[in-house]
Structure 1
Amino acid sequence: MSLPPLAALRAFEAAARHQSFKKAAAEIAVTPTAISHQIRLLEETLGIRLFDRRPRQVVLTPAGHELFPVLRDGFASFALAIDHVGQRTKTRSLTVSVLPSFAAKWLLPRLPRFQAEHPDIHLRLHTSPEVVDLPSGVVDAAIRYGAGPYRGLVAQTMFQERFVPLCSPMLGLKHPEDLKDCALLHLDWLRPDDQTPTWERWGSAAGISGLKLSGGFTFSDDAHAIQAAIAGQGVVLASRELARAELDGGLLVQPFGPVIEGHTYNLVHTGRGDHRAEVEVFGNWIVSEIARSQEHSKPAGD
């Protein structure tokens, strides 16, 4: 593609728009002489006059009138495209809705790794137990726990939830029968179903009866229930994945099985929007973190 020098085209467009070499020079931050020189160069390149020079005035020739709107619209398109690309780079962000317990126990401890691996993405967390309307655009994606269905949305399964008895090592539990003499900690689930991890369900899977199903503390948040277990206030039936840090650090132990399965955690989004690429990056990172977590040896009871 053979084109005249860009500086000459820019000088002509500004002079034609202002109908003044002086005003064009002020806009581009050069001297009027420089504007005159660039336009003379353009005219010599094209072999045609673009301006009639008159005392204290310049007027477009018919050729100048023909060229001006094309260059005006072209430079406007350049500016719009460059601004769009620049803004997208500056605002490469991702807003994700997350359950408070998942944010506190699983996501937040791992966020430094995400930031280190993807420093160009600014992650915003919207923590709430309430379901956010994704098509509204308030958030770009959500991490949801449950069976779905997620109609009209794209759902990427993160991991299958698994619940086990967890307690402080100070309690010294060795066998499932020991639970009959322990306080049991409970979780108050918003939408209980046949996959809800209750002590009744766990006792049935373990083949034991006589557990103290009444009494003890009831919590609305996994994080608080796990903290109570660390303090030795009882045994909690909790997510092994969410309590990974406490298990690895020896603050909690899984004294025995069995393991009961819950629903899956899913990264859900519309598949549309300006941040689809960031959602994909975040989803792939979660998958890698799950794989990293599963490299740990399996505890007793599996």
Structure 2
Amino acid sequence: MSPPLPPLVSLRAFEAAARHMSMSRAAEELCVTPGAVSLQIKELEATLGLRLFIRKPRALELTSEGQAYFASLKVAFRMLREATEALQKTACARVITLSCTSTMAVQWLVPKLARFEAENPGLDVRISISHRLVDFSRDAVDLAIRHGLGRYDGLVAERLLDDELTPVAAPAVAARLSAVESLAGLTLLHDETRDDWRLWLAAVGAERVDAGGGPIFTGSNGAIDAAKAGLGVALARRSLVVRELEEGTLVAPFPQGVANALAYFLIYPPQALARLEIETLRCFLLRAAGRPLTG
């Protein structure tokens, strides 16, 4: 049976003091007082039955036994630090951080992540909610989904979801919409801005419907939730309400959709795909969006 080891806290105190040749600097590193370090070393010496330091008025000096012990402990603590660092790097490599807006997360991304996790056990996807442009060198983000024209200097941008604006409403509200002009008698729900409704109404020639009224929802998917609750008609990006349309909680009462050059893009630095975990998530997202895999 192996003899018991001295307490780890005493070994740490001795190793730090011997490395710095200073009780006060060892205490600084360990976030304790110099007196606590000195006490731990005295307890270690008592456990071992040996003196490890010669204490002088303004200096420390290792005994021959202390020098031999420190040489071995220094290697052991270095191995512990290296093993811990390697373990943390391995754990971080299994984490993928994806940035997107709250609406994209709730309406499209999150419902698909359960399948990704089932297909890729051990991979941990973290969602970072943000509406601003990502700085990949600073923000600790691996991939991002953003709405725009796909022009991002120095980054790869792959078209993920096309952008088609479509009025949606709860079934009871949709039943009151016999024609586009009948929108004039209902509340229009706006997501972030009234510009989308103005664009859609102009495109379908609904000149008598005023887009200037109705509440504006900022953040999350408030306009869609309000439409599901029967509070009015929201103008949604069809790609983000596919599930609700399939389930029947929302209805698209008109065939007209307004497509434009805007879309949701998957963006990332060119070197990001060197990590297999990121490439795995990229491929999954493109397949989920019905996009061909390239590269």
TM-score by length of 2: 0.64
Query: Structure 2: how far apart are the matches of 1:158 and 1:226?
Result: 21
Match of 1:240 among 233, 238, 257: 238
User: 2:249 — aligned with what?
Assistant: 251
Q: Distance between the aligned counterparts of 2:99 and 2:113, measured in 1?
A: 15
Q: Which residue of 1 aligns with 2:266?
A: 267
Corresponding residue of 2:283: 284
Structure 1 residue 90, shift from structure 2 partner: 3.7
- Unaligned 5+ segments in structure 2 are 1-77
Q: Which residue is equivalent to 1:119? A: 121
CA distance in 2, matches of 1:215, 1:185: 9
After superposition, the Cα gap between the structure-2 partners of 1:177 and 1:276, relative to the gap in structure 1 and judged at 3 Å, is same
Q: What pairs up with 1:1-302 in 2 under 5 angstroms?
A: 89-91=90-92, 92-136=94-138, 138-171=140-173, 172=175, 173-189=177-193, 198-221=196-219, 223-262=221-260, 263-272=262-271, 276-291=275-290
What is the distance in 1 between the residues matched to 2:246 and 2:114? Answer: 18
Task: Sort the Cα spacing of 1:275 and 1:140 in 2 relative to 1 into closer, same or farther, 3 A.
Answer: farther
- The answer to whether the Cα contact below 8 Å between 2:273 and 2:279 also exists between their aligned partners in 1 is no
CA distance in 2, matches of 1:200, 1:131: 26
How many angstroms apart in 1 are the aligned matches of 2:273 and 2:206? 53
Q: Say which SS state the counterpart of residue 134 (structure 1) adopts.
A: coil
SS in 2 for 1:132: coil
Matched with 1:7 is none
> Using a 3 Å threshold, how does the CA distance of structure 1 residues 89 and 205 change in structure 2: closer, same or farther?
same
Q: Aligned partners of 1:255 and 1:197: how far apart in 2?
A: 20
Q: Deviations over 1:25-77 (max 9, x none)?
A: xxxxxxxxxxxxxxxxxxxxxxxxxxxxxxxxxxxxxxxxxxxxxxxxxxx9x
- 1:113 maps to amino acid: R
**CA shift digits 1:111-137 (9 cap, x unpaired):** 101101111311111112222211225
Residue matched to 1:70: none
Kept in 1, the 8 Å contact 2:151–2:157? The answer is no
- Residues 252, 160 of structure 1: alpha-carbon distance in 2 compared, 3 angstrom cutoff: same
Q: Computing the radius of gyration over CA atoms, which structure comes out larger, 1 or 2?
A: 1
Q: Deviations over 1:194-221 (max 9, x none)?
A: xx96222112221221102222111113
Deviations 1:139-169, CA, capped at 9 Å, x for gaps: 1121111014210111121121111010111
Question: Secondary structure at the residue paired with 2:212?
Answer: coil
Q: Specify whether residues 275 and 122 from structure 1 end up closer, same or farther in structure 2 by C-alpha distance, changes over 3 A only.
A: farther
Stretch deviating more after TM superposition (248-257 or 129-138)? 129-138
Aligned to 2:270, the other structure's residue is in SS state: coil
CA distance in 1, matches of 2:109, 2:237: 14
TM-score by length of 1: 0.63
List runs of 5+ in structure 1 lacking aligned partners. Answer: 1-75, 190-195, 293-302
> Partners of 2:87 and 2:272 in 1: how far apart?
18
Structure 1 SS opposite 2:111: helix
Distance between the aligned counterparts of 1:273 and 1:239, measured in 2? Answer: 29
Aligned residues: 209
**CA distance in structure 1 between the aligned counterparts of 2:240 and 2:148, rounded to whole angstroms:** 16
CA shift digits 1:237-285 (9 cap, x unpaired):
1111211221111111000131112411111111225863222211110
% same residue: 34
Q: What is the letter of the counterpart of residue 243 of structure 1? A: V
